[in-house]
Structures are given as C-alpha cells and as structure tokens.
Amino acid sequence: MTVIAVVDYDMGNLHSACKGLTQAGVEPIVTDSAKEIDRADAVVLPGVGSFDPAIRQLRDRGLEAPIKRAIAQGKPFLGICLGLQLLFDSSAEGVEPGLGIVAGTVRAFVPEPGIAVPHMGWNQLALTQPNSLLWEGIDRDPWVYFVHSYYVAPADPAMVAATTTHGSQTVTAAIQGAALDSGCANVMAVQFHPEKSAGSGLRLLANFAANVRSRVAC
C-alpha cells in the first residue's frame, strides 16, 4: 500500500485532506514523527493559521529536516494553503524565516475599495502549466475554494502552475517545480483547499496520489 505522510503540527484540520487522499486509493498517515516521514512514499503539508506560529511548530517538533530530506530525495510533496506559504523564504505576515525550499516571499494583498480580505470563496484558476500532472482530467479553467489573506510570489515565474485574481490583483494559486537538489519537479503546492473544492479538488488529490503510486522517474 502506498503511504503518504500528512504532517501534523497542530495547524489546521488534517482529516479533510486525509479523506480525499483515502478516496484516491492511498493510505494517509497523520504524523509528527520524523521516522514515519522518512519511511513514507510522499509527504503532504496542509495548514491553516498564521505563518510564524506554524513555522515554529515545525521546528520545535523537529520536522523541518525530514520535510527537506523527503523533497531532496525526490519524493512527491504537496503543500496545501499555509503549507504552500511555509515553503518560501519569508512572509509579510511575520518575522520568522520560512523553510526556504522555494525561493521567494509571501506577500499581503494590497487593500482595494470593496474587496474583502481575507480572500474567501470560490475563484476561477488560470492554468499557467496546463500540462502539469495536477490538472489532468480537470477543466481548463476550474473553480476552487480559497481562504487566505496572503499569497506567494516565487522568484522563478516558471514555478507558477496557476494563478487567480482578487480584485485587480493576479496572484499565484499553485506551484510545481524542482526545489533544493531533488533534480525533478516533485514539489507541488496550492493556495486553495482541494478538500473543499468539490470535484476539481478531489481530482487534484487523485492526480497527486496517482503520481505517488507511479513514482515517475525524474
């Protein structure tokens, strides 16, 4: 059975993501154990909340090293919401350094009249990597569910797999690419919540699970 480690650091509801992965035919294990992360075939980092408390929790539990190790080994990795933002160098939401797995920063939305922050609700994606395995079998302009006040800005635009808009601002909604020294595009992460995004979100989790099962050579 394919095993996916869902990292537990007390930042968000892990069980919704686990349910979607189970439906996709893989075995998610909720864990804060470095050994279990090392043994897993893939890693999922979900998260809801603030940047600084989250990164402190990861470091206090000794989870930074196994996450980086899994990515460097080429294991498929999926970040969800805050789990996307933690991959970056720093965030406007706090002062703590991020994991530094993806070069870039996390930025706050610029206030606009009539535009609510947090950005919450259904928004349409524009796929900038339409051939990404994330989108296989998904409509070209899918609607997905967001809840966030900050967004990521990768230093390398080629990492951006999808964008969305909030008011006049176009922001990164998903990334895929190589990070650290893995040498392959095993790092995938989304700002939206796939577990709350109906058919498109469940298909994305199924696509990730299929990639883990196949362990496509990089």
Domain definitions of the chain by residue range: 3-214
Averages of pLDDT over each 10 residues, the chain, 218 residues: 90 80 84 96 94 97 96 94 97 97 96 92 96 93 96 96 96 89 82 94 93 68
Active site residue 119: no
Per the residue annotation, which of 81, 93, 119, 148 is the catalytic one? 81
So what's the pLDDT on residue 183?
A: 62
Per the residue annotation, which of 119, 148, 166, 193 is the catalytic one? 193
DSSP 39: H
Q: Using CA atoms, how far apart are residues 32 and 50, in angstroms rounded to an integer?
A: 19
So what's the pLDDT on residue 181?
A: 61
Active site residue 195: yes
So what's the pLDDT on residue 150?
A: 97
Per the residue annotation, which of 27, 112, 195, 218 is the catalytic one? 195
So what's the pLDDT on residue 216?
A: 42
So what's the pLDDT on residue 81?
A: 96
Mean pLDDT of the chain: 92
Side chain identity, residue 65: A
So what's the pLDDT on residue 26?
A: 80
- pTM for this model (two decimals): 0.94
CB-based contact 14:8 (threshold 8 Å): yes
Beta strands in the chain (DSSP E): 3-7, 27-31, 42-45, 77-80, 90-91, 104-108, 119-124, 126-127, 143-148, 150-154, 160-166, 169-177, 187-190
Alpha-helical regions (H) of 90-197? none
So what's the pLDDT on residue 21?
A: 85
CB-based contact 28:4 (threshold 8 Å): yes
Classified as helix, coil or strand, 189 is strand
> CATH number for the 3-214 domain, one of 3.40.50.880, 3.40.228.10, 3.30.300.160, 3.20.20.210?
3.40.50.880
Answer whether the bond into residue 118 is a cis peptide, omega within 30°. Answer: yes
Active site residue 148: no
Structure tokens that stand for 164 in this block = 């969305």
CB-based contact 213:2 (threshold 8 Å): yes
HSE, CB side, 13 Å, CA atoms: give it for residue 77.
33
Q: Using CA atoms, how far apart are residues 104 and 102, in angstroms rounded to an integer?
A: 6
So what's the pLDDT on residue 14?
A: 81
